[in-house]
Amino acid sequence: MRSLSLLLAPLVLSLVPLLACSGDEASELADLESDLIPTGSPAPDVSFITMDDGGLKLSSLRGKTLLLNFWFYDCEACRQEMPQLQSLWSEVSSKRSDVAFLAINRGDEKEQIEYWWTNSEFTLQAVRQDDEDVSEAFGVKAYPTTYVVGPDGRVIYRGMGYDQEAQAKIRLALESTAPAR
């Protein structure tokens, strides 16, 4: 009997993470996702603060496909995701001029963002927001959250977190707006 329990222990331990994601946690994630702007809906015309303290209205980018990523520095998942978004940006921007990526920061000091961007050699555009007005307009309550907005200003993708599945969906959303060759 003891040898059987030793054999089953790894199996039982491997199921613990699955149990942690069931029930209330899954319900909370669904609630958070239901607050996001639905696909097919127009994106709100919000204003950002650029890193040089200028202003940028979302509507000024109409006609471009936009990837909007909501993040903050103390979010570990956000810090893990950003290099992958940078790689995607490098790939997409080398082929298309009709796409823009905005990394929308929540609450970090400008100097902290600049320091991380410089040291990490990120080239995608970081922008800031007043308080959390942009996050609120997009229904963002969990980080990271990503939207893809089509050239017509409508949401074509929304998602929380970032993994291989999300990356594949983001790629498909971006590709769906590529001009015909």
CA distance 3 to 50: 62
CA distance 124 to 117: 9
pLDDT tens per residue, range 141-156: 999 999 999 999 999 9
pLDDT for the residue numbered 22: 37
CATH class of the domain defined by 35-175 = alpha beta
Q: How confident is the model at residue 105 (pLDDT cuts 50, 70, 90)?
A: very high
Tell me which residue of 99, 67, 69, 94 sits closest to 81, measured CA to CA. Answer: 69
Residue ranges per structural domain of the chain = 35-175
The pTM of the full predicted model, rounded to 2 decimals, is 0.84
Is residue 47 pLDDT above 80, yes or no? yes
pLDDT for the residue numbered 48: 97
Q: How confident is the model at residue 26 (pLDDT cuts 50, 70, 90)?
A: low
127 contacts 105 by C-beta, under 8 angstroms: yes
Residue 142, Cβ neighbours under 10 Å: how many? 17
